[in-house]
Structure 1
Amino acid sequence: MRSVRLRLDLPAAYVHPMHAFVADTPGFRETRLRHWNPSVGERNTLVFFVDGDDEAAYTDALADQPSIAEYETAAAEGRRGFHLAVTEDQRTADARLTAAFLGTGVVVVPPIVYREDRAIDVSLVGASGELTTAIDGLPGDVDVTVRRVRPYDGRVADPTAALTPRQLAALEVAVDIGYYASPREATLDAVAAELDCAVGTAAEHLRKAEATVLRQVVASVPGGRR
């Protein structure tokens, strides 16, 4: 079983009007599709995060799209951008893209990233043969770039999958007792006491765990730095 990251460079006909809006409008950067209804069909409900500065401008443009049945936004506390839930009648171009993944043995792993250069980044998990079938099933006029292939180890969905049991225990203890709270509620000595180990050992476990988790988080973000 493998994990594959793809970049899809789309002809104009495949670029959703709201993807084009984000690409063309100053103050907007990218959109991330985080969740969707399990049965993809003629009408679908999707949840996005829109990395943009002007929610009103976005929703005004969204309201003008004939494919949109309804939508609702929510503030993203403490960060720029906003959340968006939308129900949409599937466009023919979108149906052609999703058809490559339906009925195959692959799983599309969120988020799907709609980049400001009008490309799409998507991650797939599945058996090698099924992945090949899915990629070959994409429309021929879509330019597909395989950005990365690696054995699946759970890191796409769970950034702690690569930790040793002791590193995971150290992180869990540190979080539970408030070592990562702001302001900090517990010291490294307290973490060591909970783990029944030396302070230096606790520090080493946390350093390695932090480095591993952060690498996995960054590596699992389509469109992020490689």
Structure 2
Amino acid sequence: MQSVRLRLGLPEPYVHPMHAFVADTPGFRETRLRHWNPAVGERNTLVFFVDGDDRAAYTEALVEQPSILEYEVAPAAGRRGFHLAVTEDQRSADARLTAAFLGTGVVVVPPIVYRADRLIDVSLVGTGEELTAALEGLPDEIDIDVERVRPYDGRLADPTAALTPRQRAALDVAVEVGYYASPREATLDAVADELGCAPGTAAEHLRKAEATVLGRIVDSVPGART
């Protein structure tokens, strides 16, 4: 089973109007499609995170789209941007895109990132034959850049999978005693006491665990490094 990251360049008819709005409007950076209803059809419900500063301007543009049937916007506490849930009639251009993945056996792994340069980052998981069939099924006018191919290891689903037992224990203890709380509720000495080791050893376990987990998270999210 393979994991493939793609960057798609779409000609104008395929670019969703709200993707174009984000790309063309100052103060907006990208949109991430995080969840969607499993049965893709003529009418779909989708959940996005919009990395943008002007929620009112976005919703004004949203209500002008005839394909949007319902929507709800929610603030993102503690960070810029906002959450968006929409119910939409599928546009014919979107149907041609999704048709490439239906019935092939591939799994589209969220998030799908709609970038400010109008490109789309998407990750797929499947067998070599399934992935080949999906790519060959995309419309010919779409530019496909294969960013990465590697064996699937579930790193986004479980970023702690590569930790050693001691590193995992150190993280568990640090979280439990409040070492990562804000404000911090425990010192490194407290973590070391729970682990039964020296503070320097506890610090080394945590440093390696943090590097592994954060590296896997960033590497697994399309567009995170660009």
Which of the five TM-score ranges fits, normalised by the shorter chain?
over 0.9
**Which stretch of the first structure deviates more once superposed, 154-163 or 11-20?**
154-163
State the 1:198 CA deviation.
2.3
- Cα distance in 1 for residues equivalent to 2:108 and 2:165: 28
Structure 2 partner of 1:221: 221
Please list every run of 5 or more consecutive structure 2 residues that lacks an aligned counterpart in the other structure. Answer: none
Instruction: Indicate whether 1:49 and 2:57 are aligned.
Output: no
**Alignment length, in residue pairs?**
226
Q: Write the letter of the residue equivalent to 2:9.
A: D
Q: Output the CA distance in 1 between the equivalents of 2:173 and 2:100.
A: 44
TM-score (norm 1): 0.97
Residue 198 of structure 1 is matched in structure 2 by 198
Q: Give the match's secondary structure for 2:124.
A: strand
Q: Is contact 1:109-1:156 (8 Å) kept?
A: no
- What are the residue-to-residue correspondences of 1:69-148 with 2, within 5 Å? 69-148=69-148
Displacement of 1:156 in angstroms is 2.3
Tell me the percent identity: 81
Determine the C-alpha separation between the residues in 2 that align with 1:99 and 1:159.
31
Instruction: Provide the rounded CA distance (Å) in 1 between the counterparts of 2:204 and 2:45.
Output: 45
- Kindly indicate whether the alpha-carbon contact (under 8 Å) linking 1:44 and 1:87 is maintained by their aligned counterparts in 2: yes
Corresponding residue of 1:27: 27
* 1:42-101 Cα deviation digits (max 9, x unpaired): 000000000111101100110000000000000001111100000000000001111111
Paired AA for residue 128 in structure 2? S
Q: Which runs of 4+ in 1 moved over 6 A?
A: none
Aligned to 2:16: 16
Q: CA deviation at 1:169?
A: 1.3
Shift of 1:224: 2.0
What's the counterpart of residue 168 of structure 2? 168
Q: Secondary structure, in 3 states, of the residue corresponding to 1:146?
A: strand
How far does residue 158 in structure 1 lie from its aligned partner after superposition?
A: 1.9
Give, in whole Å, the separation in 2 of the partners of 1:108 and 1:171: 30
**TM-score, normalising length: structure 2:** 0.97
Q: CA RMSD in A?
A: 1.0
Is there any run of 5+ residues in structure 1 with no aligned partner, and where?
Answer: none
SS in 1 for 2:174: helix
> Is 1:109–1:124's contact at 8 Å kept on the other side of the alignment?
yes
Following TM superposition, by how much is the alpha carbon of 1:163 offset from its aligned partner in structure 2, in angstroms? 1.2
Q: CA deviation at 1:199?
A: 1.9
In the aligned structure 1, how far is the partner of 2:107 from the partner of 2:113? 16
Distance 2:32 2:180 in 1: 27
1:197 Cα deviation from its structure 2 partner: 2.1
Deviation at 1:21, TM superposition (A): 0.4
Match in the other structure for 2:61:
61
| Structure 1 Cα separation of the partners of residues 173 and 128 of structure 2 | 38
Q: Which moves more between the two structures, 98-107 or 37-46? A: 98-107
Mapping of residues 169-188 of structure 1, within 5 Å: 169-188=169-188
**Partner amino acid, structure 2, of 1:57:** A
Matched residue of 1:193: which SS?
A: helix
Matches of 1:169 and 1:92 in 2, distance apart? Answer: 50
Structure-1 separation of matches of 2:21 and 2:184: 42
- 1:168-211 Cα offsets, whole Å, 9 max, x none, are 11111101110011111111111112122222221111000001
The 10-residue stretch of structure 1 (53-62 or 186-195) with the greater mean CA deviation from structure 2 = 186-195
State the AA in 2 paired with 1:141.
Answer: E
